[in-house]
Amino acid sequence: MKSAIFKIMSAAGSNFSAVNYNERKVKEGTAGLVHFENFGNLQDKKEITKEEFKMYLKEYSARNTKIKNPVFHATCSCRGQELNHEQLKQIALEIMDNLEYKENPVLIYEHHDTSNNHIHIVTSRVGEDGKKIKDKGEGKRANQFLNAILTREPH
């Protein structure tokens, strides 16, 4: 059976520096933006700057000012190249749907800076309805979904 890990970083402030981190890796040539969705009018643009992504995420998150740390940043990785970046992206999108982030703006970056294939996922913890997405036991639930996905056939 293939193995993978889905790791959620600690919730971070409202600056969305996770976008800066990933875009810096893109500039260095060790990462690439492979997926983004639910970015409203930005969705149809040919080129989107990191500032535009960050501004959209900040404005999206500002619908609930009670949430002090709205940044959701996670990684999904496998051992070596057991899974390719496209497979990791599809797994991550399914996990995010199950964690109730389906309608949120989301960025997914593939990284090539380690010997293990991995991706980074960035979104907001504010849901489409303006309420905080339930994060109690989120890491444990994410890995339960991951294990269910990995034990399904085919990969």
Give the model confidence (pLDDT) of 41-53 as tens digits.
999 898 999 999 9
Distance from C-alpha of 121 to C-alpha of 5, rounded to nearest angstrom: 13
* Percent of the chain with pLDDT strictly greater than 70: 97
Distance from C-alpha of 1 to C-alpha of 30, rounded to nearest angstrom: 28
Q: How much is the pLDDT for 3?
A: 87
Query: Do the beta carbons of residue 62 and residue 56 sit within 8 Å?
Result: no
pTM of the model: 0.95
Give the model confidence (pLDDT) of 27-82 as tens digits.
999 999 999 999 999 998 989 999 999 999 999 999 999 999 999 999 999 999 99
Distance from C-alpha of 43 to C-alpha of 26, rounded to nearest angstrom: 19
